[in-house]
Structure 1
Amino acid sequence: MLETLWLWFCRLFGRLLALLLILAGLAWALGELYYAWKFSGPVSSEEQIPPDEATLTRLIIEDAVRIVEQHRDNTRVLRDAHAKAHGCVKAEVQVLDDLDESLRHGVFSEPGHTWQAWMRLSNGNAYPQFDRARDARGMAIKLLEVPGEKLMKSPAHAGEQDFVMFNHPVFFVRDVAEYRSNFAAQADGKKVLAFLPSWDPRSWEIRHLIIALRTLAPAPESPVATTYNSIAPFKLGPHNIKYRVVPAPQHCPPYQLPEQNSALPNFLRNALYQQLSLDRAPACFELQVQRQNPQYYMPIEDTSVEWDEKIAPFESVARVSVPAQDFDSREQNLFCDNLSFNPWHALPEHRPIGGINRLRQAVYEAVSAYRHQRNAAP
């Protein structure tokens, strides 16, 4: 009797499971068809600014200040994102000698020119946590002694050109309105409501929740062993572009990083220190750009959409090298913590575009000023 009942239950469970798998497959196929229809070109090659964006930006600044106060340590106010640095290192950015003439704009206008730079490598979270925790990872590059008038008029940043990136090709919000809703939920400690704000399924952002989960990836073996993306678009002279930095070990002497103990809280800093300071081995990258083709779905105002590399392949514009160096000193770490990176520290030829970049201009500046004031930092 029990055996017959068990077999009946197994058959019923198997049929239910098969039905659920079929329904899930159909839902996935319908989703793919929907997004194939929704994400079809052409798109605008110009910015489109919503009328309520300024109001939303002010609210986001208030939320960002709340977050930095929630996550401050005993003595210092930290960044509202990418609070934990693995290190600030000196770098060189050399424009390619044979760079295509159509890409020779701004800091890339002179083939062969080498810019001295600072590079900050970090985790993405607003609270310093163990490196083994799933997280985004960030890279920010600050070119030094860049002549020309900048988009932000601050004398402190008059000679700087910044590039700000993290290691995922898309962002988990599309625009400033969604960013406000998402960020407010996080500031209130209600992370579930960031993507499921109500009981109405029409308000759910399942696709963006999946992007966020993919962004929270396991740590790479080293901060210099992963690709970093701009996420949002920028100008490069007349072009609308996205950029990225990819590891290019072929440009460096052969090097194999010894296996790191990922159970240590700061193993990514240890990996960077092992390579640059102990083994005296440089790290090499290429800086690349991807030009928008507005005949296809490559939107400016939606950072949750990846531009198709098959249609618009990335093109290398410069080599980035991080020479062997000693960087893990108290003085340099404090200097690193006081650095401000902002994509609007830029020449007009590299103007940030799109809603998320417009938001960055106000939020980065406001949070940086607040942080430096509270920390009595230069």
Structure 2
Amino acid sequence: MTSVWMRFGAFLGKTLLLLLSLGVLGWALASAWFAWQHRGPVSAEELIPDGEAAMTQDVIQTAVRIVDQHRESTRYLRDAHAKAHGCVKADVQVLPELPDELRQGVFSEPGKTWQATMRLSNGNAYPQFDSIRDARGMAIKLLDVPGKQLLDDQKNRGEQDFVMFSHPNFFVSDVTEYRQNVSAQADGETLKAFFPGWDPRTWQVRHLLIALATLSPAPESPTRTTYFSVSPYKFGQANAKFRVMPDPDSCPTYTLPAQNQKLPNFLRNALNQQLSTDRIPACFVLQIQRQDPGKYMPIEDTSIEWRESDAPFETVARINVPAQDFDTPALNVRCDNQSFNPWFGLEAHRPIGGINRLRKAVYEAVSDYRHSRNAEQ
């Protein structure tokens, strides 16, 4: 009997070693294939696929359905980033010593300070406890911006918006995948968002891993998180992505008191603790990463992170969020009703790529629908 068990143990050990070896080999082959498929150079121009307009209309219908599904008794919510931690006033100062090649659009005048509104939020389409793993969002709206706006029906808006969230790449590549993903999630079939059928060629394992990484544990505070534009924009004649990082060295030294993370809104409490109770400002830097078309930095695939080794981020402005009282019923209603859209802005910062083209149509349709329904309440 002992001999039998020894032979079985040896067989089991060899089997496990073989499976491990096959797994390592598969991982190596997949990595090599991915590196082969995703190498430069890439186009510096947008490439619009056939059928994108029809797919966009499908996404709009699904987004409206999500708004209906997640409505509260007194209001209709956004289809994403429904829960705000607060909207706060901010000052965005262009670096006084900004190099000439970075003086584009709202960054054209070194030393210029823009008054701005900043919205900090969770990413989910339904308000949930802050302790639940989620993406976190930051939207910045520069005010009183002169110049022709991108949208013809918003000529007098005078704004420049930057919309970001807390992961450098997105869990879909393009409009086709976004339509499949959001439709599955709206139907309550999350698994089908990444595994739409039995054919392994349709499986989106890499994108599932990105989605899982995006749903990260809550930070100490919304002011302790780095935010990324994910999708690209024009930056004068170049293409670029944006990033906002905490810059604690530019603000007074501050240690945030421990927050009770079991409370549903502890991120709002943390923001209120710093800005309203302790009267300590928060500081960030606003940076750009310019595309190098000679490297694999595609415009039309938002699942690809632009590597800093290919193109470093460059600071173009500093953001100061002064001490303030923001958490009042009137200001919270105003925050909830405010629209942030990457298409509110100037030609110098035109959103580009399929996901941004999709945003243009979906943001407008959902915003109009939400505001019209809330006006009827």
* TM norm structure 2: 0.97
CA distance in structure 2 between the partners assigned to 1:54 and 1:192 by the alignment: 26
CA contact (8 A) 2:243 2:288 kept: yes
Deviations 1:278-335 (A, max 9, x none): 1111110000000000011100000000111012000000001111111110111100
Corresponding residue number in structure 1 for 2:132? 133
Corresponding residue number in structure 1 for 2:336? 337
Corresponding residue number in structure 2 for 1:142? 141
Output aligned runs, 1:48-127, within 5 Å.
48-127=47-126
Aligned CA distance change for structure 1 residues 8 and 59 (closer, same or farther; 3 Å): same
CA drift of 1:157 comes to 6.1
Output aligned runs, 1:275-354, within 5 Å.
275-354=274-353
Aligned CA distance change for structure 1 residues 247 and 44 (closer, same or farther; 3 Å): same
Corresponding residue number in structure 2 for 1:235? 234
- 1:330 maps to a residue whose letter is P
| SS of structure 1 residue aligned to 2:55 | helix
| SS of structure 1 residue aligned to 2:212 | helix
CA contact (8 A) 1:106 1:347 kept: yes
CA distance in structure 1 between the partners assigned to 2:210 and 2:12 by the alignment: 32
CA distance in structure 1 between the partners assigned to 2:335 and 2:218 by the alignment: 22
CA distance in structure 2 between the partners assigned to 1:259 and 1:61 by the alignment: 41
Report how many residues are paired: 377
| SS of structure 2 residue aligned to 1:375 | helix
| SS of structure 2 residue aligned to 1:164 | strand
| SS of structure 1 residue aligned to 2:344 | coil
| SS of structure 1 residue aligned to 2:359 | helix
Aligned CA distance change for structure 1 residues 200 and 280 (closer, same or farther; 3 Å): same
Corresponding residue number in structure 1 for 2:184? 185
CA contact (8 A) 1:149 1:158 kept: no
- 1:232 maps to a residue whose letter is S
CA distance in structure 1 between the partners assigned to 2:118 and 2:18 by the alignment: 52
Corresponding residue number in structure 2 for 1:30? 29
| SS of structure 2 residue aligned to 1:59 | helix
CA distance in structure 2 between the partners assigned to 1:39 and 1:46 by the alignment: 17
CA drift of 1:7 comes to 5.1
CA distance in structure 1 between the partners assigned to 2:5 and 2:212 by the alignment: 38
- 2:181 maps to a residue whose letter is N
CA drift of 1:6 comes to 5.6
Deviations 1:70-96 (A, max 9, x none): 111111110000000111111110000
Deviations 1:84-138 (A, max 9, x none): 0111111110000011111111100000000011100000000111111111000
Deviations 1:38-73 (A, max 9, x none): 111110000000120100000000000000111111
- 2:348 maps to a residue whose letter is E
- 1:273 maps to a residue whose letter is N
CA drift of 1:259 comes to 1.3
CA drift of 1:189 comes to 1.0
Structure 2 residue runs without a partner (length 5+): none
CA drift of 1:237 comes to 0.5
CA distance in structure 2 between the partners assigned to 1:220 and 1:210 by the alignment: 20
Structure 1 residue runs without a partner (length 5+): none
Deviations 1:127-175 (A, max 9, x none): 1111111110000000111011100133486111100000000000000
CA distance in structure 2 between the partners assigned to 1:9 and 1:121 by the alignment: 58
CA drift of 1:10 comes to 4.5
Deviations 1:259-278 (A, max 9, x none): 11111111111111111111
CA contact (8 A) 2:149 2:155 kept: no
Runs (4+) of structure 1 exceeding 6 A deviation are none
* TM norm structure 1: 0.97
| SS of structure 1 residue aligned to 2:301 | coil
CA contact (8 A) 1:123 1:137 kept: yes
| SS of structure 2 residue aligned to 1:289 | strand
Percent identity over the alignment?
66
Q: What is the RMSD computed on CA atoms of the aligned residues?
A: 1.5
CA distance in structure 2 between the partners assigned to 1:129 and 1:12 by the alignment: 50
- 2:314 maps to a residue whose letter is E
- 1:73 maps to a residue whose letter is E
CA distance in structure 2 between the partners assigned to 1:174 and 1:122 by the alignment: 23
- 2:275 maps to a residue whose letter is L
CA contact (8 A) 1:338 1:377 kept: no
1:245 equivalenced with 2:244 (yes/no): yes
CA distance in structure 2 between the partners assigned to 1:221 and 1:259 by the alignment: 8
CA drift of 1:22 comes to 1.6
